[in-house]
Structure 1
Amino acid sequence: MPNTHIEIININDCKISTEDQVIPHERRIVEGVIQLWKEDPITESLGIGKLHALVKKRNPNWSLSEKRLKTVLKSYNLLNSAEQFAYASEITSKDTPNLVMPKNIRYQFTKNRGKGLYATKPFKEGDLLWEEESPLFFIPPLDHMNLIKSSNACTYCATLLKTASQLKKGLDCNVCSDVWCSIRCKKKDTLHGTLKHNVYQEGKKSKKRIVSAAWLRYEKYCYENKWNAAHAVALIYAYCLTDKTGVLLQQFDAFAKVRQDIRYKAIDSSGIGGSFDTNSGGALFVKEQQEALWREAYAKFNEIFPLDEITYEQYMEFLGSYNINNVDGSMFLIQAHLNHNCDPNVRVLFGEHKADGIKVYAKRDIKANEELTTSYVNPAHDVNQRLRELRVNWGFKCNCNKCKEDKKALEKRKSSESKDASHKKAVKEMLDSAKDEEFDLPLPNGDGERTRRKSVRFEETVIAVAED
């Protein structure tokens, strides 16, 4: 008698009873769709029908029609047909004063194209193009603030300190509890006494340009709201006001700038809620709260600088300028003039220490008079993700050669997947129509005399019987 193998095959998903189904709030629907897009950017280009099928598959207990999904996405400007906001035309910049260029690198500024850097001679792959020994404005990590206060991190660069015994004499402050990790950091920390030592008694008239008590309140506010950009612009303004030459303020003013509230329109319309812009503060669904947050931060900012108050519009420009120009939190004078390309020809490397400068190398051979470019986003990311990040964080719709090629490849893949889906649909229709019929299901004969499946009926589960 032949050996008999019985295999149980589940074909249909378990059905959810109507009693277990829930009607999801529109916010949950939007969050569910956004999560899909984050995990697989290709799904952003799907039509409403296929998107609805994916959402239902991930949330089988949702009572959600295709019509309601479309209505909700439309109300949040998330439909594929919706025009996504870009703000490149709103960005302005000025010619940078006192800019000393590296050898063999040319700086060019025009009203039409803005700023750019160009090679004046050919470079080979791996050549060092230039080095910036330190940032124009160094911004320490805000999330280390409590570690700094507890003397567990350097008050300047926020580097973690292993043990207090490692600190040499002279690296601790004689007024407050802050410490430095090195003599180098202590020398560079020119703002420490001005910002941290509350020698000014509030309530009395003073000619001091910076009120340290107000700074400490503002810093705490930024920390509680996890708001890096607000913290950074106050530090930058303090550096500018203490610069007797006035050049720092002029150079900061010359950076590309755009109001943060204008940038926020792109964050809002993307449906991502600022997930690619952790410096911005606030999130999707809270427009009124976001405005209140900006206003509150602005008021606290001016309390720090009573003799040099700025307008609300200037504060918005400060935030926007920092957000589109910073690299790893800090701002570099020459590097900030590099324009974007998803296939860049330069590579920017940071030093081992947080407060170190950068070195810029040729990523490939570069011709004379060729523009030098960097990538503002990870070039390895999917084209849709790159395009979204560039539009939200830098305000433009990239049309570089890499994006064009990747779009073509994506369309080709979608076309292939569509054909495959049509084939699967045809097979499914055949199986559905054969529910009450019997027919043979042949198995591959990899080892000659092996098996074939006998006739079966298609029900909730299928029993396939095979004989040796």
Structure 2
Amino acid sequence: MEKNPTEDEVVQIVLDIKKSEPELGIAKLHARIKSLEPAWALSVNRLRSIMRSHSLTDVPLKGTTSLSGATIPEEFRDRLYVSETVSHLISDLSLPPLIEVFNSKQRGKGLQVSSKLPKPESIPEGAVLWTEPALVLIPPISLVGLIPTGKACSYCARPLVSMSSLIASCSTCSGRWCSTRCRKLDKLHKHIRHGKYTSEWGAIEQFAVENEWSAFYQYAYALAAVTFEDHDGGQSSKPIKEGVEGLAKIRQDIRQKADPQYKNNIFLGEELDILWQEGYKVLCKFFAHLSIPSYEEYLSGIGMVNINNLDGSIYLLQSHLNHSCEPSVDVKIVGRTAGVKVTAKRQLHPDEELTTTYVDLKKDVTFRRQKLLEGWGFWCTCSRCMREQDLTLRDDATGLSTKDNSDAKLTADAEDGSKKKKKAKSKSKQKMPEPARVRKKSVTFDDNVVQIEI
């Protein structure tokens, strides 16, 4: 009786075979798997698809280099930084039913459908997997100027235009909240709006707004949330602190090198370094009597919010989702305080990874890969990217073939014209014919100008 192997089973046997026979092509690899597992119903196409989705393809394209199983053009290779990203598992992460965390060398930390789900069963398309509020709800930088004057909610930053009795007001400052719920959830207000650090926090906001630097403000806000929750004590501080510490981190100076402008502008690195140092000084003034992060921790924090924030805020479970250009889940923000809702885009099976998208899926493979390289430091080898890459290569090859045929025709025409001229020249001694009407057309082909008769 034939068995339909899971993706994990296929990946494992491929890895085992590749350890001793790394040079096997797809056909020989498939034959080897069939000899080891004759009961498996595994086609070559499915094997190829699984290998691509798990970055196990290792045959480089012409003019490219294979790096950790991913095919990437040489011009982009030095911009990879995903291997320098650091991420830790959270010990007491609260997971929804049928969802579990995995940590692999190839994909890093991620989420998948639990293996405890019976094999014949699946999660149906459209099923709500979980909802979650933000771990740290961060006001948009464009609205921070409205909060101290009470024109926006101190917690969720919702603009306030009325003096309704439903709106809660602070008895100490001009701050207001759009609801009593927001007032209860706002743990930072008393520390940054009318505490002893008010002026220093104001300097952080001013610096972020003047430099239009959202990541700086998001990091400062997240760090303040962790610091004051820990400072105030209580059971709620541990999940926030461990959650932020467990997020993937990458130093911003390393991440910045993936920006194409970094190479093109020799002064950009120096300008950014000055900006980072100025921001660090402003940050240190606020945290001077609390816990000052090191400069390296500060750069890692800036990189952390850049690769993890969703609409400016930080979500714990959502941040565990890896990318695919054919995502298996849909993530929607249902409200500033309500947070996100994650649903299945299609039927999901046991051990199947849950993936989202980091980029605009309407764009082509070149655009998506560039954005993923700049934003997250990896070269996407998901099934869709590999299919579109193959299609592009075939189109390019077809284009070259068409050009070759066109060039061959031009060469044949030129040779035929040359023969005709020689024949005409030999006959000219006998009879002077009427000269052929010709025009000269400049055709780039081996730097020759081909004469075409009309």
The 5 Å alignment of 1:144-155 reads 144-155=143-154
User: Aligned match of 2:181 in 179, 184, 203?
Assistant: 184
Measured after TM superposition, the shift of residue 99 of structure 1 is 0.5
Greater RCO between the two (CA within 8 Å, min separation 6)?
1
Measured after TM superposition, the shift of residue 360 of structure 1 is 0.8
Query: What amino acid is aligned across from residue 99 of structure 2 in structure 1?
Result: I
User: Aligned match of 1:249 in 241, 252, 259?
Assistant: 241
Measured after TM superposition, the shift of residue 169 of structure 1 is 5.8
Kept in 1, the 8 Å contact 2:167–2:176? The answer is no
Measured after TM superposition, the shift of residue 175 of structure 1 is 2.6
What is the aligned residue count?
Answer: 334
Kept in 1, the 8 Å contact 2:248–2:304? The answer is yes
Separation in 1, partners of 2:301, 2:180: 31
Query: Identity, % of aligned pairs?
Result: 35
Measured after TM superposition, the shift of residue 412 of structure 1 is 3.2
User: Aligned match of 2:92 in 72, 80, 98?
Assistant: 98
Kept in 1, the 8 Å contact 2:166–2:179? The answer is no
Task: Tell me the equivalent position of 2:129.
Answer: 129
Q: Deviations over 1:243-279 (max 9, x none)?
A: 22552222211111111110001114676x9xxxxxx
Query: What amino acid is aligned across from residue 258 of structure 2 in structure 1?
Result: A
Kept in 2, the 8 Å contact 1:84–1:269? The answer is no
User: Aligned match of 2:310 in 304, 327, 352?
Assistant: 327
Separation in 1, partners of 2:332, 2:96: 17
Task: Tell me the equivalent position of 1:69.
Answer: none
User: Aligned match of 2:203 in 203, 217, 223?
Assistant: 217
Kept in 1, the 8 Å contact 2:148–2:193? The answer is no
Q: Tell me, yes or no, if structure 1 residue 399 matches structure 2 residue 381.
A: yes
Q: Secondary structure at the match of 2:177?
A: coil
Kept in 2, the 8 Å contact 1:117–1:337? The answer is yes
The 5 Å alignment of 1:107-118 reads 107-110=101-104, 113-118=107-112
Q: Secondary structure at the match of 2:176?
A: coil
User: Aligned match of 1:315 in 298, 307, 310?
Assistant: 298
Kept in 2, the 8 Å contact 1:137–1:332? The answer is yes
Kept in 1, the 8 Å contact 2:158–2:178? The answer is yes
Kept in 2, the 8 Å contact 1:130–1:360? The answer is yes
Kept in 2, the 8 Å contact 1:142–1:223? The answer is yes
Q: Deviations over 1:355-410 (max 9, x none)?
A: 32111111011111111111111222110111011111111111111000111222
Query: What amino acid is aligned across from residue 372 of structure 1 in structure 2?
Result: L
Measured after TM superposition, the shift of residue 225 of structure 1 is 0.8
Q: Tell me, yes or no, if structure 1 residue 236 matches structure 2 residue 222.
A: yes
Q: Secondary structure at the match of 1:372?
A: strand
Kept in 2, the 8 Å contact 1:390–1:398? The answer is yes
Separation in 1, partners of 2:342, 2:112: 13
Measured after TM superposition, the shift of residue 234 of structure 1 is 1.1
Q: Unpaired runs of 5+ in structure 1?
A: 1-78, 201-210, 274-282, 430-456, 459-468
Task: Tell me the equivalent position of 1:378.
Answer: 360
Separation in 2, partners of 1:168, 1:406: 57
Measured after TM superposition, the shift of residue 419 of structure 1 is 6.5
Task: Tell me the equivalent position of 2:273.
Answer: 291
User: Aligned match of 1:87 in 81, 86, 105?
Assistant: 81
Separation in 1, partners of 2:397, 2:180: 61
Kept in 1, the 8 Å contact 2:256–2:262? The answer is no
Separation in 2, partners of 1:97, 1:105: 15
Separation in 1, partners of 2:391, 2:260: 29
Q: Structure 1 pair 302/401, CA: closer, same or farther in 2 (3 Å)?
A: same
Q: Secondary structure at the match of 2:331?
A: strand
Separation in 1, partners of 2:277, 2:255: 16
Q: Structure 1 pair 400/212, CA: closer, same or farther in 2 (3 Å)?
A: same
Q: Secondary structure at the match of 2:169?
A: coil
Task: Tell me the equivalent position of 2:369.
Answer: 387
Task: Tell me the equivalent position of 1:5.
Answer: none
Measured after TM superposition, the shift of residue 185 of structure 1 is 1.8
Q: Structure 1 pair 426/365, CA: closer, same or farther in 2 (3 Å)?
A: same
Q: Secondary structure at the match of 2:293?
A: coil
Q: Deviations over 1:207-233 (max 9, x none)?
A: xxxx22111111110011111111011
Query: What amino acid is aligned across from residue 354 of structure 2 in structure 1?
Result: L
Q: Structure 1 pair 317/382, CA: closer, same or farther in 2 (3 Å)?
A: same
Kept in 1, the 8 Å contact 2:167–2:178? The answer is no
Q: Deviations over 1:35-56 (max 9, x none)?
A: xxxxxxxxxxxxxxxxxxxxxx
Q: Deviations over 1:64-110 (max 9, x none)?
A: xxxxxxxxxxxxxxx98464411011011111132011111111235
Q: Secondary structure at the match of 1:319?
A: helix
Separation in 2, partners of 1:148, 1:124: 43
Kept in 2, the 8 Å contact 1:340–1:374? The answer is yes
Q: Structure 1 pair 305/90, CA: closer, same or farther in 2 (3 Å)?
A: same
- The CA RMSD measured in Å over matched residues stands at 3.1
Q: Unpaired runs of 5+ in structure 2?
A: 1-72, 412-438, 441-454
Relative to the length of structure 1, the TM-score reads 0.65
Measured after TM superposition, the shift of residue 148 of structure 1 is 3.1
